[in-house]
């Protein structure tokens, strides 16, 4: 389809305007679209821009960063390179830059531990571990507020789950956090 204005170049922009329930559509080339006063071209946008925006939100400009010479010991990437690229160079970067990542993940997801769905058929062990960790957290809170009856109920539920799990419930700190 050719541009409806110049009728020379191919139309690559679809401009739709609705005013007072009256719809007007134009198919224009980029050059003619740029001359339209109603047309506002959006700047290009990438996922790294999105991540960088989350990193800068609410921080003063002298925000803490690891020194420029600090790099991941495995791949050599530094934090400023991550901010530009929007992804790390290797799995060790996640451990090395964890102090910067945790606040970022909390801003994006609300938490830094993944707690998504678990397959029903194969995830029973994990679900039991997760339930034990949740009960232990509730038990700790119940003891703090001196709700000893609730604490005793939770203790019994934890014990029953750990026994059904094969006695491997133990202290699972990574799930309890």
* Residue 98: predicted pLDDT: 81
CB within 8 A of 15, min separation 6: which ones? Answer: 25, 26, 27, 28, 33, 36, 38, 39
Rounded to 10°, the helix 148-164/124-144 angle is 160
The predicted-structure confidence for 22-79, as pLDDT tens digits, reads as follows: 888 889 888 888 787 666 555 555 666 666 666 665 554 444 444 444 778 888 888 8
Q: In this prediction, what percent of the chain has a pLDDT beyond 70?
A: 71
> According to DSSP H, which parts of 6-147 are helical?
30-35, 47-56, 79-85, 92-96, 98-109, 124-144
Q: Is 146 left (phi over 0), alpha (psi -120 to 50) or beta?
A: left
Q: Is the pTM value of this prediction over 0.75?
A: no
């Amino acid at each position: 389809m050719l541009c409806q204005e110049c009728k020379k170049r191919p139309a690559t922009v679809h401009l739709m305007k609705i005013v007072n329930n009256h719809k007007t559509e134009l198919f224009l080339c980029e050059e003619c679209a740029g001359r339209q006063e109603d047309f506002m071209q959006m700047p290009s946008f990438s996922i790294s821009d999105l991540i960088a925006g989350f990193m800068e939100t609410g921080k003063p400009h002298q925000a803490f960063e690891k020194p420029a010479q600090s790099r991941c010991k495995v791949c050599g990437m530094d934090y400023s390179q991550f901010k530009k690229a929007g992804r790390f160079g290797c799995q060790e970067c996640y451990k090395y830059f964890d102090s910067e990542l945790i606040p970022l993940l909390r801003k994006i997801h609300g938490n830094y531990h993944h707690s998504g769905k678990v397959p029903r058929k194969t995830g029973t062990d994990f679900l039991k571990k997760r339930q034990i960790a949740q009960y232990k957290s509730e038990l700790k809170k119940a003891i703090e507020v001196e709700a000893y009856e609730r604490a005793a109920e939770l203790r019994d539920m934890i014990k029953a789950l750990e026994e059904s799990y094969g006695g491997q419930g133990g202290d699972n700190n990574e799930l309890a956090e």
